[in-house]
């Protein structure tokens, strides 16, 4: 993209409108001076440039000629860098593809447009996060944060920290996700800016809940529920309540858990089918935990029907959660088929949390069936996914499980190979401490 100097702009406009330099001359600015501007030997002052541009716009109207919307009264007075910044900001609103965003980034780098560069990296990060490409999204947010820190810019910092936490949460890196959520919340307090605060409270409660720290999660849930205005944040209240129910389930307080879900279902008039699909799924789990198998199946099926239509990227979660009923009833064939269907969807939608959960469910079945070949395959998949996500904890789990399996089978060469790989993994962990 080429941006023009003041002289180039003036000459282009004058030629397009079929005007002479004399036509544009005004008191205090001669034709000769206009000529020098067009030859890059002089520049108009800002005030004179605005005055000239207003005259040019009038000429365009008199001649009934269309003029580019970007040719506002400030057009001649803007520098090349200012034109580049305006172009990038306007284009950013329309950009929808990674290629378009990369093109804008190149312009930003060329003209050192740091504030716009942050916006571009953030928008690309948001796009990738919505596509469940959490690793790639984090890289974009991290680049934005690097520019923010180098240039002492505070705008977007709170939201970016929150989104970095979401990336880490989806990559199963829970401690790191909590680190970024805390950074976001601390900034909210120091900047007295609370637009994102309730979302971050929800996210950190979800992180603690997912990693099994129900008591800590409930602390943030209480703060969030005290802050939320149900009139304006009903959806957020529902999501927070779902996390609260999950916490009580992990504390084995199933009656409280079921009560929360049924209250949401019956009393909040939820029209969002995505949320309803989540509630039905989680209610199915809670009822299963209470040994109410038939009612559990009913709600899993309701969730499956809704998610198949409205929330396909989370359909895998219902399928994998539903498999616990089949496993408990020793209907292993049905359980394996349901899990595999869910795993295919997890791979399609990059749902690493449930990909890992599905593998662990299959691991339990194959252990009960003494199926060594399928166990080996599952552990290899766990290691593969852990490497993609740089999740050393799961990588160690998968490699240790492979070693234990091969020890039982006396496969000494494989034991040696896996032990070597495990040692390298542990060394990498030690080097980061």
Rounded to 10 degrees, what is the CA torsion of 408, 410, 414, 417?
90
For residue 259, count other CB atoms closer than 10 A to its CB: 14
pTM of the entire predicted model: 0.77
Are residues 275 and 333 part of one domain? Answer: yes
Q: Do both 63 and 90 map to the same domain? A: no
Residues 56 and 105 in one domain: no
From CA 164, how far away is CA 143, in angstroms rounded?
A: 11
214: in domain: no
Judge contact between 11 and 97, C-beta under 8 A: no
Q: Is residue 335 part of a domain?
A: yes
Average pLDDT over residues 413-418: 91
- Determine contact, residues 86/78, Cβ cutoff 8 Å: yes
Q: Which domain holds residue 280?
A: 268-365
Single out the residue in 314, 338, 365 at which a domain terminates.
365
Residue labelled with tokens 């008191």: 27
CATH number at residue 286: 1.25.40.10
- Total Cβ atoms within 10 A of residue 240: 24
Whole-number pLDDT of residue 66: 62
pLDDT band, very low/low/confident/very high, at 381 (cuts 50, 70, 90): very high
> Do 208 and 220 meet the contact criterion of CB atoms below 8 Å apart?
yes
Could you give the percent of the chain with pLDDT greater than 90? 66
Residue 253 covered by a domain: no
Is 83 part of a structural domain of the chain? Answer: yes
Say which residue the tokens 């989370």 belong to: 314
Per the rule left: phi > 0, alpha: psi between -120 and 50, beta: everything else, 192 is left
Residue 29: predicted pLDDT: 81
CATH number of the domain enclosing 394: 1.20.58
Shared domain check, 359 and 272: yes
Mean pLDDT on 293-319: 96
Q: What is the mean pLDDT of residues 381-394?
A: 90
| Domain final residue, candidates 135, 166, 195 | 195
pLDDT-based confidence at residue 32 (cuts at 50, 70, 90): confident
Handedness of CA 111, 117, 121, 127 (dihedral sign): negative
In terms of C-beta density within 10 A (0-12 exposed, 13-18 middle, 19 or more buried), how is residue 23 classed? middle
User: How many domains would you assign to the chain?
Assistant: 4
Pick the last residue of a domain from 54, 78, 102.
78
Helix (H) or strand (E) holding 109: helix 98-111
Q: Tell whether 233 is covered by a domain.
A: no
The span from the CA of 333 to the CA of 288, in Å, is 19
Cα–Cα distance measured from residue 238 to residue 264, given in angstroms and rounded to the nearest whole number: 7
The answer to whether position 241 is within a domain reads no
Residue 272 lies in a domain: yes
């Amino acid at each position: 993209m080429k941006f023009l100097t003041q002289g180039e702009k003036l000459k282009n406009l004058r030629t397009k409108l079929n005007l002479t330099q004399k036509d544009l001359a005004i008191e205090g600015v001669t034709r000769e001076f206009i000529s020098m501007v067009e030859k890059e030997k002089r520049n108009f002052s800002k005030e004179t440039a605005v005055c000239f541009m207003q005259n040019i716009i009038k000429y365009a109207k008199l001649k009934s000629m269309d003029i580019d919307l970007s040719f506002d009264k400030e057009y001649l007075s803007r520098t090349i860098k200012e034109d580049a910044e305006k172009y990038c900001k306007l284009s950013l609103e329309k950009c929808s593809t990674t290629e378009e965003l990369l093109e804008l980034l190149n312009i930003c780098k060329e003209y050192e447009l740091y504030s716009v560069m942050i916006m571009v990296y953030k928008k690309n990060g948001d796009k990738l996060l919505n596509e469940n490409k959490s690793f790639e999204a984090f890289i974009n947010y991290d680049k934005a944060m690097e520019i923010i820190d180098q240039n002492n810019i505070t705008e977007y910092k709170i939201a970016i920290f929150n989104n970095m936490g979401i990336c880490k949460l989806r990559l199963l890196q829970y401690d790191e996700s909590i680190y970024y959520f805390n950074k976001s919340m601390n900034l909210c307090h120091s900047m007295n800016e609370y637009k994102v605060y309730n979302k971050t409270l929800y996210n950190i409660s979800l992180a603690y809940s997912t990693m099994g720290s129900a008591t800590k999660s409930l602390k943030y849930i209480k703060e969030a529920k005290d802050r939320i205005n149900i009139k304006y944040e009903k959806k957020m209240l529902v999501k927070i309540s779902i996390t609260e129910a999950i916490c009580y389930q992990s504390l084995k307080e199933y009656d409280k858990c079921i009560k929360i879900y049924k209250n949401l279902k019956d009393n909040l008039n939820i029209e969002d089918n995505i949320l309803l699909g989540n509630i039905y799924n989680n209610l199915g789990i809670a009822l299963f935990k209470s040994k109410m198998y038939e009612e559990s199946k009913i709600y899993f099926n309701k969730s499956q029907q809704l998610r198949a239509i409205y929330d396909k990227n989370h359909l895998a979660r219902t399928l994998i959660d539903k498999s616990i009923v089949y496993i408990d009833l020793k209907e292993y064939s049905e359980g394996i088929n349901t899990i595999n269907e869910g795993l295919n969807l997890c791979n399609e939608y990059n749902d690493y949390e449930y990909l890992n959960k599905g593998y662990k469910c299959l691991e339990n079945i194959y252990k009960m069936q003494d199926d060594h070949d399928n166990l080996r395959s599952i552990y290899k998949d766990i290691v593969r996914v852990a490497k993609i996500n740089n999740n050393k904890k799961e990588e160690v789990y998968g490699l240790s499980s492979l070693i234990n399996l091969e020890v039982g089978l006396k496969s000494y060469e494989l034991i040696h190979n896996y032990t070597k790989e495990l040692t390298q993994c542990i060394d990498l962990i030690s080097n980061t401490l």
